[in-house]
């Protein structure tokens, strides 16, 4: 394996880093403080193709691999993990439609998703089924040319704001074989949204429940065959986990860089705290953990792109290691900043809050350990 990025990959990363420096980093603290959802900035990312990163060129995407996607996500998370993660979710939902939908559903939904004229949410989690995704209870009963939906989805990024909801619903018996995937439009009668959740972090994107009460969705909006929804959801999560791992890398890199600059300037006991061995050891541990997590994430991204037999295990490993490392590095950065790290005048506290949830979403890290263990022991 070549540890060096190709010229094209470096160029892609550079474009994403410039976009972040120009459009995201200067505004991220304000978005967080005001709970402001940066729709216009996100749409400008679509001008660079970031609304359809790994969609095939044949359907209007830019046809990149998962490693290139990880580079983009990491670059944007350096400015704002919340915004980068939101773009990841949109890409995952669009990829599901492009990969498993028929021509009609692709033509109906993808053009406006690719340009981000419409934003997409991914709806799997329910109030009573988080880690137990196969236990979801939202029903979709066929009635003529429609499905009639009843139930709720919880913790949905973009709920109430996004136009498109890629939903996993129960069309058959209990268990994963009774789950199907439907695209639900925001203005569908019977679709409503809960209040915006009050969260520790991720303030720059709305999160709420999505409720269905006799909501009629055309059968033609189904993605894939009936009963294949669980497999579609799990396929999407391989890439989603890589993206969240990459978002943790970007946030951790920002915290490391901020810490290096701070310890060089901050003086205690007559010298910069960078001169103390304890500080040097702390910085070294942060940098080593970040480098290891990045290498694992890049390897896993290549395996998902190549459809390797162990791609799911590798994506789970990357998500586990990178998100654990990212959260710890952010917390260590706060400690190095001392009391200043706890203030909103510095970016560190925002990254501590934003990166913490990465250990929970796209499958908790306990579930990642379960997946890895089962794979190794089967």
Which residues are CB-contacts of 277 (< 8 A; sequence separation ≥ 6)?
none
Which residues are CB-contacts of 245 (< 8 A; sequence separation ≥ 6)?
70, 293, 297, 300, 318, 319, 321, 322, 323, 358
User: 361: closest CA among 193, 75, 122?
Assistant: 122
If asked whether residues 168 and 50 sit together in one domain, one would say no
- Active-site positions read 362
How long, in residues, is the chain? 378
If asked whether residues 74 and 27 sit together in one domain, one would say yes
Name the domain count of the chain: 3
Q: pTM for the full model?
A: 0.95
If asked whether residues 266 and 335 sit together in one domain, one would say yes
The pLDDT of residue 340 is: 96
Last residue of a domain, one of 76, 92, 114: 114
The residues pairing with 149 across neighbouring beta strands, listed in sequence order, are 140, 215
Last residue of a domain, one of 227, 244, 262: 227
Q: Is residue 138 part of a domain?
A: yes
The pLDDT of residue 13 is: 97
If asked whether residues 219 and 239 sit together in one domain, one would say no
Burial environment of residue 173 by CB neighbours within 10 A (0 to 12, 13 to 18, 19 or more) = exposed
The pLDDT of residue 174 is: 84
Q: Is residue 176 part of a domain?
A: yes
Q: Is residue 1 part of a domain?
A: no
- Identify the CATH number of the domain in which residue 372 sits: 1.20.140.10
CB of 76 closer than 8 Å to CB of 84: yes
CA pair distance 74, 342, nearest whole angstrom: 24
Q: Is residue 220 part of a domain?
A: yes
Q: Is residue 2 part of a domain?
A: no
Last residue of a domain, one of 196, 227, 258: 227
If asked whether residues 158 and 211 sit together in one domain, one would say yes
If asked whether residues 235 and 128 sit together in one domain, one would say no
If asked whether residues 174 and 186 sit together in one domain, one would say yes
If asked whether residues 54 and 142 sit together in one domain, one would say no
User: 155: closest CA among 217, 223, 213, 202?
Assistant: 202
Q: Is residue 193 part of a domain?
A: yes
Q: Is residue 191 part of a domain?
A: yes
If asked whether residues 370 and 241 sit together in one domain, one would say yes
Query: HSE of 370 in the Cβ direction (CA atoms, 13 Å)?
Result: 7
- Identify the CATH number of the domain in which residue 183 sits: 2.40.110.10
The pLDDT of residue 1 is: 60
pLDDT by residue for the chain (378 residues), tens only, comes to 667 899 999 999 999 999 999 999 999 999 999 999 999 999 999 999 999 999 999 999 999 999 999 999 999 999 999 999 999 999 999 999 999 999 999 999 999 999 999 999 999 999 988 788 888 999 999 999 999 999 999 999 999 999 999 999 999 988 889 999 999 999 999 999 999 999 999 999 999 999 999 999 999 999 999 999 999 999 999 999 999 999 999 999 999 999 999 999 999 999 999 999 999 999 999 999 999 999 999 999 999 999 999 999 999 999 999 999 999 999 999 999 999 999 999 999 999 999 999 999 999 999 999 999 999 998
35 is in which domain, residue-wise? 7-114
- Identify the CATH number of the domain in which residue 87 sits: 1.10.540.10
Q: pLDDT digits over 268-293, tens only? A: 999 999 999 999 999 999 999 999 99
User: 174: closest CA among 129, 142, 215, 123?
Assistant: 129
If asked whether residues 266 and 367 sit together in one domain, one would say yes
Q: pLDDT digits over 154-203, tens only? A: 999 999 999 999 999 999 988 889 999 999 999 999 999 999 999 999 99
If asked whether residues 106 and 133 sit together in one domain, one would say no
The 3-state secondary structure of 60-84 reads: CCCCCCHHHHHHHHHHHHCCCHHHH
If asked whether residues 106 and 129 sit together in one domain, one would say no
Q: Is residue 259 part of a domain?
A: yes
């Amino acid at each position: 394996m070549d540890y060096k990025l190709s010229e094209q990959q470096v160029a892609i990363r550079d474009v994403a880093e410039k976009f972040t420096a120009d459009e995201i980093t200067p505004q991220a603290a304000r978005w967080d403080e005001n709970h402001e959802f940066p729709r216009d900035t996100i749409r400008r990312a679509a001008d660079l193709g970031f609304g359809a990163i790994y969609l095939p060129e044949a359907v209007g995407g830019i046809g990149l691999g998962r490693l290139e996607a990880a580079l983009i996500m990491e670059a944007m998370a350096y400015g704002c993990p919340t915004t980068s993660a939101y773009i990841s979710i949109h890409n995952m939902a669009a990829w599901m439609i492009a990969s498993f939908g028929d021509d009609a559903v692709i033509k109906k939904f993808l053009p406006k998703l690719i340009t981000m004229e419409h934003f997409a949410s991914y709806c799997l989690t329910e109030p009573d089924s988080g880690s137990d995704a196969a236990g979801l209870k939202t029903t979709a009963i066929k009635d003529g040319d429609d499905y009639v939906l009843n139930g709720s989805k919880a913790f949905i990024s973009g709920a109430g704001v996004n136009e498109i909801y890629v939903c996993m619903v129960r069309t058959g018996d209990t268990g994963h074989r009774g789950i199907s995937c439907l695209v639900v439009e925001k203005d569908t009668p019977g679709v409503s949204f809960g209040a915006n959740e009050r969260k520790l972090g991720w303030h720059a994107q709305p999160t709420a429940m999505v409720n269905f009460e006799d909501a009629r969705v055309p059968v033609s909006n189904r993605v894939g065959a009936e009963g294949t929804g669980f497999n579609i959801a799990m396929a999407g999560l391989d890439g989603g986990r890589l993206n969240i791992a990459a978002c943790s890398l970007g946030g951790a890199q920002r915290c490391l860089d901020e810490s290096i600059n701070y310890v060089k300037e901050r003086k205690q006991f007559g010298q910069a705290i960078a001169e103390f061995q304890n500080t040097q050891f702390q910085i070294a541990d942060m940098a080593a953990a970040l480098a290891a997590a990045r290498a694992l994430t890049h390897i896993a991204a290549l395996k998902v792109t190549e459809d390797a037999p162990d791609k799911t295990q590798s994506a789970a490993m990357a998500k586990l290691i990178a998100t654990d490392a990212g959260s710890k590095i952010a917390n260590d950065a706060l400690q190095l900043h001392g009391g200043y790290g706890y203030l909103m005048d510095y970016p560190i506290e925002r990254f501590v809050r934003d990166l913490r949830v990465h250990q929970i979403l796209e499958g908790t890290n306990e579930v990642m350990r379960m997946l890895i263990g089962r794979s190794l022991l089967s």
